[in-house]
């Protein structure tokens, strides 16, 4: 039995993904190979460390607060400042600007027109999606923000992902780490339209350069009966250059009140 | 097993108890190190391992969320854990706080 081959299978062994025969073969090797059995012990300990991270209670509050702000049609800068406080670093400023821009775009769409986008307002037949949807509803209700979310606002979920993953990449390493993680990842929704999460830099750049595709995506993913309400808004937003304005404003450390206020 | 005590005993919500303060300090230190190590991972690996090991989602859920095949999910999780294992060596190696040496 080749040592390297067994080393490759340790991950699967740990998860019980191997067939009985393979598993027994790995066990035999482990019995006589100190390096492999030590590697397995370390992997186990690593997983135990990961699973022992604190239960993410702070992120629930963070989530509620951000949802509340989306509902209220605000940009998220004060919240972000309080939580992450890393203004001044260029990378963070860019992420913040893009995140807020996304939120403001959504605020404009959601709040300005008083509508919510949704791929469907019906309960999802998919249990995973249903669970996550109901999670969002619960949080939104708990914050006292809204009874209006019929299941979830697809636009808000999209914006949250863009924004929070943006925050995540610029997060300070220690204190905010667990908050940011859980907040970012707790928001994933299996039924939501695709967001290019792994091309974040590209996404930020595109969003800041030109909000139209983003708005277009919002429009495409909206429930059919609501599309006609969104088109004028998309045009309006794009014409006003709201996103670029907000990004620039944030770069100069001023809150994006003008944009949301003008939509009232 | 000592590494398990390190990982499970410290938490934000634990009530004050007869716990050894030094253990508690070691626990939060370990957590901080784990979080730092996570932040050092490449984003694709980090996403996979956070969703699976920390959020407790299944391979299938992670695959759907990240829109990648389950096989890719598994390999990313494994690669991520191995990278973390390297970075957290002082916490996970069997020598630490263990029987001997």
Nearest CB among B3, B31, B35 relative to A45 is that of B3
Higher-confidence position of A6 and A109:
A6
Q: What is the pTM of this model?
A: 0.41
CB-based contact, B41 to chain A, within 8 Å? no
Within B14-58, where are the H helices? 21-40, 43-49
Confidence of residue B85 (pLDDT cuts 50, 70, 90): very high
Separation of alpha carbons B20 and A102, rounded Å: 46
Q: How many Å lie between the alpha carbon of B22 and the closest alpha carbon of chain A?
A: 18
- pLDDT tens digits for range B14-71: 333 334 556 556 667 787 788 778 877 877 787 788 778 876 778 887 787 677 899 9
Check residue B97 and give its pLDDT: 42
Quote the mean pLDDT of chain B: 69
CB-based contact, B48 to chain A, within 8 Å? no
Give rounded-to-5 percent helix, strand, coil for chain B.
70, 0, 30
Separation of alpha carbons A192 and B65, rounded Å: 9
Confidence of residue A58 (pLDDT cuts 50, 70, 90): very low
| pLDDT beyond 80 at A260 | no
Nearest CB among A45, A128, A178 relative to B92 is that of A45
Q: Would you call A225 helix, strand, or coil by DSSP?
A: helix
Q: Which pair of tokens denotes residue B97?
A: 């706080």
Contact B94, A42 (CB under 8 A): yes
Inter-chain CB proximity A42 and B85 less than 8 Å = yes
Chain B partners within 8 Å of A197 (Cβ): 47, 66
Nearest CB among A39, A49, A178 relative to B30 is that of A49
Among all residues of chain A, which has the CA nearest to that of B76?
A: A11
Inter-chain CB proximity A11 and B55 less than 8 Å = no
Inter-chain CB proximity A46 and B81 less than 8 Å = yes
Chain A partners within 8 Å of B31 (Cβ): 52-54, 178
Higher-confidence position of A54 and B99:
A54
Nearest CB among A39, A52, A198 relative to B43 is that of A198
Separation of alpha carbons A114 and A101, rounded Å: 19
Chain A residues within 8 angstroms (CB to CB) of chain B: 11-12, 15, 17, 38-39, 41-43, 45-55, 57-58, 128, 169, 171, 173-174, 177-178, 181-182, 185-186, 188, 190, 194, 197-198, 200
Q: Which pair of tokens denotes residue B35?
A: 């979080």
The 10 Å Cβ neighbour count of residue A27 is 13
């Amino acid at each position: 039995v080749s040592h390297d081959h067994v080393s490759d299978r340790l991950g699967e062994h740990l998860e019980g993904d191997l067939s009985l025969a393979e598993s027994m073969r790995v066990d035999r090797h482990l019995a006589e190979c100190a390096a492999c059995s030590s590697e397995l012990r370390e992997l186990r300990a690593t997983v135990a460390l990961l699973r022992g991270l604190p239960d993410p209670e702070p992120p629930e509050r963070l989530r509620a607060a951000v949802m509340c702000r989306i509902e209220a049609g605000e940009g998220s800068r004060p919240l972000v400042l309080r939580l992450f406080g890393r203004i001044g670093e260029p990378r963070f400023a860019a992420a913040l600007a893009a995140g807020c821009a996304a939120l403001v775009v959504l605020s404009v769409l959601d709040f300005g027109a008083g509508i919510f986008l949704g791929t469907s307002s019906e309960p999802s037949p998919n249990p995973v999606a249903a669970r996550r949807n109901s999670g969002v509803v619960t949080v939104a209700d708990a914050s006292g923000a809204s009874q209006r979310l019929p299941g979830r606002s697809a636009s808000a979920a999209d914006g949250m992902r863009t924004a929070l993953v943006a925050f995540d990449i610029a997060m300070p390493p220690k204190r905010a780490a667990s908050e940011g993680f859980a907040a970012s990842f707790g928001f994933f929704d299996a039924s939501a339209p695709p967001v290019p999460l792994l091309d974040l830099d590209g996404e930020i750049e595109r969003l800041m350069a030109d909000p139209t595709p983003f708005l277009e995506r919002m429009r495409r993913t909206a429930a059919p009966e609501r599309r006609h309400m969104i088109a004028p808004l998309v045009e309006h937003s794009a014409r006003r250059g709201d996103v670029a304005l907000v990004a620039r404003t944030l770069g100069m450390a001023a809150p994006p009140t003008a944009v949301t206020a003008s939509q009232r | 097993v000592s590494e398990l005590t390190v990982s499970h005993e410290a938490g934000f919500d634990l009530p004050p108890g007869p716990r050894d303060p030094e253990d508690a300090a070691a626990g939060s230190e370990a957590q901080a190190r784990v979080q730092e190590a996570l932040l050092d991972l490449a984003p694709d690996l980090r996403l996979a391992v956070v969703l699976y090991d920390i959020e407790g989602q299944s391979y299938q859920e992670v695959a759907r969320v990240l829109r990648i095949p389950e096989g890719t999910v598994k390999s990313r999780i494994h690669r991520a854990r191995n990278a973390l294992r390297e970075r957290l060596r002082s916490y996970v190696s069997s020598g630490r706080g263990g029987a001997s040496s």
